[in-house]
A = this chain, B = another copy of it.
Amino acid sequence: MLDKKNKILIIGLGLMGGSYARAFTEKGYFVGAIEKKESSLAYALEKGFIQEGQSEPKADLIGKYDILIFALYPHIFTEWVKQYQHLIPKGRLLTDVTGVKGAIAEDLQALLREDLEYIGAHPMAGREASGIENANTEMFRGANYIVTPTEKNTQEAIDTCIEIGKTLGFSTVSVLSPEKHDEMIGFLSQLTHCIAVSLMDCKDAEHLARYTGDSFRDLTRIAKINDEMWSELFLLNKKALLAQMDLFSEQFAKMRDAIAEDDQESLREMMRLSTERRTFFDKKTNR
């Protein structure tokens, strides 16, 4: 289980790593960091988000820590483990913040030392802005945290990871298989970003602002997107995401047909269903 004596090492001080560091420090944990970018490291030290930090992975620093949390781009994360896992003492717990799980779990399990344990986790929080300068712990409130164990994980690791989510301040902590997670995230998060980007790409924005209502604003808020990170996540979750995109296209085509055929009753039926489901969703999320 998680304990205040556990020292926590954050690898990667971007928006998420920075926010994690800040949250753990506020809760009284000893937090260190490894971050290539000297300015981010300096910022975290100056703001008191971390107690210590280095720009290169070294055994003496890493050796002090009980839990290693990776807040890196997926391909950098697996590369890091491949290159530096020999610096980690045996028995330590590794976890992450990566937005896809199946592909990562497979890769990591294939290369991770037998005496280390990795357990996946996905904090479903974010901001349009990136970088440690935007780090904040507010975004965890009301948000969901998903732990994605495989059959290789111990119950102790699962429990610790659940505690991490709660300690960070997430409102809901769930446990899902990596496959279920990827399907869920493909639908709820990746598909919605695909839609927002596609919609924003349809037309030049020059003249839209003057005539817009809230709808377009709401639907394109997430079209402001970190292209490097999201394109990587999309491709890592390709199979699940394509299935969700096709599911949406099918519904959208059904609506198009109803309009083309002046089939008002089918249109209304689709709208009544969406209204009913969204009303139910509101109740469930207390919004």
Contact surface of A with B, Cβ cutoff 8 Å: 124-126, 143-144, 146, 172, 174, 176, 184-185, 187-189, 191-206, 208-213, 215-225, 227-228, 230-232, 234-235, 238, 241-242, 244-249, 251-256, 259-260, 262, 264, 267-268, 270-275, 277-282, 284-285, 287
Contact = CB atoms under 8 A, between A and B. Distances in A.
Given A248-B199, A278-B200, A278-B220, A231 B189 contact: no
A277 B124 contact: no
Nearest to A279: B224
Contacts of A254: 198
Contact of A242 (B185, B223, B256, B274): B256
A227 B271 contact: yes
B252 A212 contact: no
Q: Give the interface SS of chain A, mostly helix, strand, loop or mixed.
A: helix
A143 B210 CA distance: 9
A217 B264 contact: no
A169 to B, nearest CB: 15
A255 B198 contact: yes
Contact of A255 (B187, B197, B247, B274): B197
A271 B205 contact: no
A145 to B, nearest CB: 10
B271 A197 contact: yes
Given A232-B264, A238-B259, A202 B251 contact: yes
Nearest to A139: B214
B189 A223 contact: no
A226 to B, nearest CB: 8
A126 B213 contact: yes
Contact of A248 (B202, B215, B260, B285): B202
